[in-house]
Structures are given as structure tokens and as C-alpha cells.
Chains A and B, each alone.
Chain A
Amino acid sequence: MSLLPQLQRIPPACWLGVALLLMLAFAVQVGAMPVHLNDWLDLPKMLDWFVQDKPTQTLSAGAHVLFNLRVPRLLLAVLVGASLGLSGALTQSLFRNPLAEPGLLGVSAGAACAAALTIVILSEMPLAVIAPVRAWLLPLAAFAGALAVCFALEQMARWMAPGSIAALLLTGIAVNALAGAVIGLCTYLADDEQLRSLSFWTLGSVAGAQWLWVWLFASLLGTAYYRLRHSMQTLNALALGEAAARQIGVDVPGLRKQIIVWVALLAGLAVAFCGMISFVGLIAPHLVRLWVGPDQRRVLPLAMLLGGLLLLVADTLARVVAVPAEIPVGIFTALIGGPFFFLLVRQARSQVR
């Protein structure tokens, strides 16, 4: 009996952190390729490779899969999940509604649409764009697409009934449909090679993970958290409404711009590298709010942890369910997230005063 109060004193961040580490430890063991203890001993060779950039021919097959495929993929899943969780929490505080999420509102679709257009346009261009530029052009295009949709949504939200989530979700449906149509058009215009890359955007997968992407997302998340850590209380102020927030001294336009840029960066880059993975940004913050309450100072960091955990679980399922083939992770998040969204809507409607 004396254990329960002790357990309740442990901060939620600890619980989530431990759960994440346990899940990582589990996920790194499972997969199509059996990995043995011996393979772990190749870690020094791996670190040496990092430092000296030698080719990996001295690694065993298991070690190669472990360190170059599986570990970066797991870490990327956690980081992208955390990005999505954070962008979901930020979107919900911006629109003052627990049903808002970058995927539902069309931000991810906008990013995918911009990326698809870039692929098609690049292929039509007479001069060949060199591969590294092309590789970075896509994430940039995705970010721009996400940013454009965010601004459009924001204008729409202020022009229509402020605080009306119905208007926002309708706009999101329209944006999703429009983006889908543009992607469909690109698919029509594309020749087969591009077609394969276009279909990637709609399903979402962390399969192509590279260490470079892991570092990129780690620094992105670190920077985001660092820049936002003092804004969390002002994010709480947004819940009072724009007018009231202004009256208590919050620079509302500046804060809004800051949130939009971060949401566009986090969601846009997630789409650029991993395709459309929806619902993580909806479920993670919502579950966290059910657990610790709506204070953004607790919700933002915990949504990151929980988002990372959720995507890691989904990706592990995706890798393991149909061995040796694998299912795109976006399918799992939609399978779980869709019904969850219906539950949320029902709950929200029953609470309407």
C-alpha cells in the first residue's frame, strides 16, 4: 500500500523515459535479420568508421544491419515521433483546440504536395540538378509547403468564427483534398521512376533512415525545445483567447509566427524525410493532457516523449508483422489513430456546453 504514493511521486517524464528506453532495447532485438551479441561487439569498429569514414566492409552482416540500418531507423522513429508530438501540441495550443493536428489540418498534405511538385518540376528541367542539391531541395520544398498551409489556416481561422474547430477541420479537409488532387496530377504526369517516389509521400515510412537524418532531427528538436522552453507559459496564455492574451502582455502576433514556423519546420521536415505519418501529433498531446493536465509547460516535453514512443511502437510493428516484407508505418498510425479520433470527437461533442 505504501508503494502507490511512492509511484505517484515519480514524475511522468521518468515513466515515459524509462518506457522509451525499454522499448528501444526491445525493438533493437527484433527484426527480419537476427542479431547476435557478437554483432554488438563490433561497436568499436563502427565508431572508428564514423571518425575515419572508412567503408564498412569489416563489419559482420549482422553488425552492419544493426548499426547502419536498425539503430538509425529506431532513433529516427523516436525523433520523428517526438517532432510530430511537439508539432501537434503546438498546433493545438495555436488553434486552442484539442482536435487540431498538422495531419488533419492539411499541413502534412501541403508539405507532401510541395515535395511532389518539386519532383515533377525537377525532372522537367532541362539542366540536370546535381544530386546533393536535389536531396536538400525536397525538404526545403516540404517546409515551404507546410508553411504556406499553416499561414492559410491561420488566416482562415481568424476570418471565420474564431475558435471554431469545425471551420478549421473543414479547411483541413479542403486542403487535404486539394493536395491529394495535386499529387494525383503529378502522378499522372510523372513517368514511372518518379511515380515510385510520389507514392512514398502518402504512406509514410522511416525505412530509409540514415545517420545524417538522425543528427538533423536531433539538432532540430534540440533547437526547438531550447527556443520554446521560455514560451510555454505564454502558450498557456493563448488559451484565454487572443484579446485576453494581448491584454495580459503577450505579443500574440509574434508568438503566433514563432509557433507557425516551428510547426511547419517540424511537420514539414518529418514529411520530407518520412512521408505522411498522421495522428501521432493528435494522440500524443491528447493522452498527455489526460494524464497530467493541460499546462503546456508539462504537455510540450511529455508530448515529445510520448510521440517518440508511439512512433517507435508503430514502426516496430510495421517491421515485424509481415517479415521479411514490411508495411509502411503510416498505415499503422492511421489504423490506430482513426478510431481514436472518432472517440475524441464523440467526447468533445458530449462536453459542448
Chain B
Amino acid sequence: MHPKPSVALLQLNDIRLSLGSDCKESQAPKSFKLCISPGERLAILGPSGAGKTTLLRLMALDASPIKGVVLFKGRTQQSWATAELSRHRAVMPQSCQVAFGLEVKLVIALGRVARRSDPFVSDIVFEAARLARVDHLLSRRCDTLSGGEFARVHLARVFAQLWDTRDGLILVDEPLSALDLGLQEIILKALDRFATERQHAIIAVLHDVNHALRAFDRLLLVKEGQLYADIASKSQAVPLFESLYGLSLECLRTVDDALVVSPRSNRCGVA
């Protein structure tokens, strides 16, 4: 576990992800406790259907936990007004259909809709778009964009939403799933830069273990509706990955001494 600072950004106490009603008592999901500090980088990993998205939604204060309590900046979900909460935390959805083909400029500006007076909104929109590399698309309609461009527009929206605050929380749900390799790099870098400048924490649900190892300090492994492990992002994580995914993995080191894992292929040798 990491040393806890005095003020936690996000605290999950005695949380259960699922009811586990059809399990035996001994196999019932155990409740867990989590504490996330400002500026942390946290990735949630696990097989499909494990409950990653549920956990993310709990952390975003989007859903109420079945058991336990979630505290964001020391306050419960009920004590946060919707508008006020949106100024401290932003969610980038996995997929988001925009009806009516709104303009990209407008979609990005919508990130700031909860603010009563917003004199610099056009500048912020432009800067956010530049950071997410969509500034050339500002006058385009959303329904004419490709999947990758659309994802970046939502990223720009998240940027605009938390542009002028500090110590916020950004939650992303599998943001890289539909993107090519080059775009994945761009987005991760942009996100990292944005969050570092403003001391925002990032919590991301990821599929790709290597992304998690490279860009995130802390990993939450979720399996079958339970928190399987809460570890630092290092080589000790590899055995846990193996039991998480049920695969045997090979560890490799790149020239920059970064860790990369790959599934070990079983070669049936026919001699």
C-alpha cells in the first residue's frame, strides 16, 4: 500500500461491487477499501465482465454502492450538487453518441455548461482542442468524424471541463479501444500532460496491460466482482496478471528499460 497523504481525493470505504447472490457465503465478494490521492495515476485492469466499469462508475459518483460509502474530497455523493461536482471531476465515456450532429466547437464548449458565467470559454475551447489535436476540426459536425477523431473531441471536452481547476479527477473508460497505435500514444501523452499541469488524478479502465504498466503508477486488478489486488505498477505485478487473466506471460525489457509483457505462446513441437 502507498503512504496515505492527509487529504484523500477519493475514498471508497467498505465497498462491495456486486451482491454475489448465487455464491456460497464463503465465496461471497468481500468488501474493500480504497484511498486515492490527488495527482495519482491509477489503472483498472481485469477480464471482461469483472466489474471494472461498475467500479469506475462508483468512483465517478455516478452510481450508489450496494454496500459502503464513497467520499469524494471528503463529501458523500448526496452532498455534491451536480453542477459543482462537474467542476471537479470529468468522465470520458467509452462511446458517446451525439445526436443531431452538433459542431465540434459546441461539443467541447458543453464541457463548461455548468458554469454560470464563462467569459473565456472560446479561448479555453480552442486550447483544449489544440491539446487533443482536434483544433483543425472545430467547425466540423460530429456525425462526419471518424471514431478516432470523435474520441479526441471527447477528450478535448474533458480538458475544457477541468481546464481551470486543480486537484480534480479524470475518469476514462477504455479510451484507446478503437484507436490506432499512433493515436493511442497521442492521447496518453496529452492526458498525462494535462493532468500533470493541473495536479488532476487519472483513473482509467484499460484493456492493454502494457499501457497500464507504462503510464500508470498504481494498478487495481478486478476479477469476478472483487478487488483482486491493489499494487504498484512494477515487475512484481506480472504473476498477478497471470492469475488474473489465466495466461502465462513473458516479461521483456525494451531499450529504455521499460517493462513489456506478452502472452507466452505454447508451441507444440512436432519433431
Contacts and interface: CB of A to CB of B under 8 A. Distances in A.
Interface stretch (B9-17, B91-99, B175-183, B208-216): B91-99
Contacts of A247: 60, 62, 86, 90-91
Interface string A245-273: 01111110000000000000000000000
A249 B97 contact: no
A249 B82 contact: yes
Interface stretch (A210-218, A220-228, A230-238): A230-238
B62 A246 contact: yes
B120 interface: no
A240 B60 contact: no
Interface stretch (A109-117, A129-137, A289-297): A289-297
Interface residues of A, number: 24
Contacts, number: 69
B19 interface: no
Given A163-B97, A250-B82, A293 B91 contact: no
A98 B100 contact: yes
B113 A96 contact: no
Q: Which of A96, A98, A293, A294 has the most CB of B within 10 A?
A: A294
Contacts of A244: 91, 93, 96
Nearest to B115: A249
A294 B60 contact: no
Contact of A248 (B62, B100, B106, B110): B110
B87 interface: yes
B114 to A, nearest CB: 3
A25 B82 CA distance: 49
A233 B101 contact: no
Nearest to B93: A244
B99 A239 contact: yes
A251 B98 contact: no
B107 interface: yes
Given A233-B110, A295-B103, A240 B98 contact: yes
B102 A294 contact: yes
Contacts of B157: 248
Contacts of A249: 82-87, 113-114
B113 A234 contact: yes
B161 interface: yes
Contacts of B29: none
Given A96-B100, A163-B99, A248-B161, A240 B62 contact: no
A56 interface: no
A311 to B, nearest CB: 24
A248 B97 contact: no
A123 to B, nearest CB: 45
B111 interface: yes
Nearest to A253: B82
Given A244-B93, A248-B110, A295 B102 contact: yes
A135 B62 CA distance: 48
A194 interface: no
A241 B102 contact: no
Contacts of B113: 233-234, 236-237, 248-250
Given A248-B113, A295-B106, A239 B98 contact: yes
A241 B114 contact: no
A97 interface: yes
Nearest to A251: B82
A234 to B, nearest CB: 6
Q: Which of B60, B98, B99, B161 has the most CB of A within 10 A?
A: B99
A51 interface: no
Contacts of A241: 96-97
B96 to A, nearest CB: 5
A243 interface: yes
Interface string B70-84: 000000000000111
A250 B82 CA distance: 7
B111 to A, nearest CB: 6
A201 to B, nearest CB: 32
B111 A248 contact: yes
B93 A243 contact: yes
Interface of A: 96-98, 163, 233-234, 236-237, 239-241, 243-244, 246-251, 289, 293-295, 351
Given A241-B97, A293-B103, A294-B101, 8 more contacts: A236-B110, A239-B98, A240-B98, A246-B82, A248-B114, A249-B82, A249-B85, A294-B100
9 contacts: A96-B100, A97-B99, A163-B99, A236-B113, A244-B93, A247-B90, A248-B110, A248-B111, A248-B114
Identify the 3 closest CB pairs spanning chains A and B, nearest first.
A249-B114, A249-B86, A294-B100
